[in-house]
Amino acid sequence: MTDLYQGFTQSALGKQVTKLLGLPQPARLDRYAEGGPLVEGTVAVGGRGRLAAELPGILDALGIASTTDTTGDDRFKALVLDATGLTTATELVELRDFFTPLLRRLDRCPRVVVLGTPPEQTTGAERVAQRALEGFTRSLGKEIGRGGTVQLVYVADGAEGAVHSTLAFLLSPKSAYVSGQVVRIGAHGSREAADVADWIRPLQGRVALVTGASRGIGEQIARVLHRDGATVVGVDVPQAASELQALMRELDGDHLVLDITAKDAPHRIARHLTEQHGGVDVVVHNAGITRDKKLANMAEDRWESVIAVNLAAPERITRHLLEEKVVNDNGAIVGVASIAGIAGNVGQTNYAASKAGVIGLVDSLADDLDRGTTINAVAPGFIITQMTAAVPFATREVGQRLNAMAQGGLPVDVAETIAWLASPGSTAVNGNVVRVCGQMMLGA
């Protein structure tokens, strides 16, 4: 699905017109190609804190070139600053001192990551300084332009060795449409990461359940998890059975045809995973529906069907799989929420309630999981799919431009984010809600 406006802005005439009128000029985003390097270029590393000395070695282990020498006029693909050592407001000037000279030396589609200490784990002046990092990174994300992204990663004390998976994702084109986010490592439960034998195929030998897998975002999730080595078990309704079966044959996966709202769905899923695969390592709750209407005109069936599919079914399935210990050690549960569940949306009280409930499910379980299991959510913004293609042109254009990247995302952007959260290297990433929205201007 082509973004016609973006194509126009790349033409000679389009560049002139958009510059003259002050219109958005969305950059073409770098996205990961299978077999490619995580980072094409060099990462400049700076700062003083708990991770500073280890960062070059961590990046080297990921196959990413880095340097602490920022003199001269070399260009960089990414910048990483360890700000865990900032303990007072006056020390925040170190953010300016590091970034200001380097921002004009960044290649297109650059990546910026700031590492901090979770404010809730600090006190006094240090808490003030660490909380200030959020305003800094979110503002820089809206300034950086050229398809760049900026993230803040709060690393709990003792979780320094668990940052590999998160840096691999945030510094690579896999995070093309993720910006202005705050990620916490080691904030809930485990502060260690499971071993990853192959960073190219981190899900090798793992079994991944994906609901709503036959098309759209679900199909891309299945494809990316398969690319990363997982055996995918796709689930979808009987009406989508042929598409589901064809996709799973292509991916050498498995399938289960059922309605996830059925009373026996949790039991059937658990039995299938246990008997056919010996359990499951990754559970992705992607299946979802919309039945939009303003609340004054909302019929009961519109409300109940959306809550049933988007929230009640994922909750029932998750709790059953956990209670029956179908989820293996170091397993990952990922819910697909929505920016609507954070910021709300006209005509979507039912949908927004269901997606905010998905975030609530993460909150309710994050501190109670054991055996290295994690639960996180992704919250997509405007993702270009067949569904959004049916939205009226003017509404669609506004929706695509109201973010720092001035464009819609692709289903693969959601899939890449889920693959990061599903990785065994992300077992210290728990209880997070990560927006895949190009850093929306509203609700961000």
Query: Looking at the structure, do residues 120 and 216 belong to the same domain, yes or no?
Result: no
> Residue 402 belongs to a domain with what CATH number?
3.40.50.720
Within a domain: residue 443?
no
Whole-number pLDDT of residue 416? 98
Q: For residue 395, name the pLDDT band (cuts at 50, 70, 90).
A: confident
**The pLDDT of residue 282 is above 60:** yes
**The pLDDT of residue 388 is above 60:** yes
Query: Looking at the structure, do residues 162 and 220 belong to the same domain, yes or no?
Result: no
Within a domain: residue 264?
yes
Query: Looking at the structure, do residues 109 and 215 belong to the same domain, yes or no?
Result: no
| Catalytic machinery residues | 351
Structure-model confidence comparison of residues 67 and 345, the more confident one: 67
Query: Looking at the structure, do residues 18 and 59 belong to the same domain, yes or no?
Result: no
Q: For residue 2, name the pLDDT band (cuts at 50, 70, 90).
A: low
- pLDDT tens-digit readout, 307-322: 999 999 999 999 999 9
Q: What's the Rg (C-alpha) of the chain?
A: 22
Segment 341-360 shows an average pLDDT of 96
Query: Looking at the structure, do residues 12 and 142 belong to the same domain, yes or no?
Result: no
Query: Looking at the structure, do residues 13 and 91 belong to the same domain, yes or no?
Result: no
Measuring CA to CA, which residue among 330, 206, 335, 228 is closest to residue 278? Answer: 206
Query: Looking at the structure, do residues 382 and 255 belong to the same domain, yes or no?
Result: yes
Say what percent of the chain tops pLDDT 90.
85
Q: What is the chain's mean pLDDT, rounded?
A: 94
Q: pTM for the complete prediction?
A: 0.95
Query: Looking at the structure, do residues 171 and 78 belong to the same domain, yes or no?
Result: yes
**The pLDDT of residue 444 is above 60:** no
- pLDDT tens-digit readout, 195-249: 898 989 999 999 999 999 999 999 999 999 999 999 999 999 999 999 999 999 9
Q: For residue 385, name the pLDDT band (cuts at 50, 70, 90).
A: confident
Whole-number pLDDT of residue 443? 53
Q: Is the dihedral of CA 322, 228, 178, 56 positive or negative?
A: positive
Tokens representing 57 are 């070695």
Q: Out of 129, 150, 185, pick the residue that ends a domain.
A: 185
Angle at 375 (CA atoms; ends 204, 140), nearest 5 degrees: 95
Tokens representing 278 are 């010996």
Query: Looking at the structure, do residues 127 and 234 belong to the same domain, yes or no?
Result: no
Whole-number pLDDT of residue 56? 97
Measuring CA to CA, which residue among 410, 413, 429, 436 is closest to residue 341? Answer: 436
Q: For residue 106, name the pLDDT band (cuts at 50, 70, 90).
A: very high
Within a domain: residue 191?
no
As for how many domains the chain has, the answer is 3
Whole-number pLDDT of residue 442? 60
Query: CA of 270: how far to CAs of 74, 164, 384, in Å?
Result: 54, 32, 33
Whole-number pLDDT of residue 266? 98
Within a domain: residue 154?
yes
Segment 126-132 shows an average pLDDT of 98
Whole-number pLDDT of residue 250? 98
- Structural domain of 19: 1-25
**The pLDDT of residue 1 is above 60:** no
- pLDDT tens-digit readout, 266-277: 999 999 999 999
Q: For residue 194, name the pLDDT band (cuts at 50, 70, 90).
A: confident
Within a domain: residue 293?
yes
Whole-number pLDDT of residue 390? 66
Within a domain: residue 291?
yes
Within a domain: residue 194?
no
CA distance 5 to 401: 10
- Dmax over Cα atoms in the chain, in whole Å? 65
Segment 50-65 shows an average pLDDT of 96
Query: Looking at the structure, do residues 16 and 38 belong to the same domain, yes or no?
Result: no
Query: Looking at the structure, do residues 230 and 354 belong to the same domain, yes or no?
Result: yes
290 conformational bin, left if phi > 0, alpha if psi -120 to 50, beta if neither: beta
- pLDDT tens-digit readout, 69-103: 999 999 999 999 999 999 999 999 999 999 999 99
Whole-number pLDDT of residue 90? 98
**The pLDDT of residue 22 is above 80:** no
**The pLDDT of residue 137 is above 60:** yes
Per-residue exposure over 329-360, b if at least 16 CB sit within 10 Å of its own CB, e if not: ebbbbbbbbbbbbbbebeebbbbbbbbbbbbb
**The pLDDT of residue 5 is above 90:** no
Q: Which residues have CB under 8 Å from 71's CB, separation 6+?
A: none
Segment 367-388 shows an average pLDDT of 91
Q: Out of 138, 153, 185, pick the residue that ends a domain.
A: 185
Query: Looking at the structure, do residues 166 and 220 belong to the same domain, yes or no?
Result: no
Q: Out of 185, 218, 248, pick the residue that ends a domain.
A: 185
Whole-number pLDDT of residue 61? 95
Whole-number pLDDT of residue 92? 98
CA distance 161 to 151: 19
Find the range with the poorest average confidence among 92-101, 324-333, 386-395: 386-395
Whole-number pLDDT of residue 28? 92
Within a domain: residue 90?
yes
Structure-model confidence comparison of residues 297 and 5, the more confident one: 297
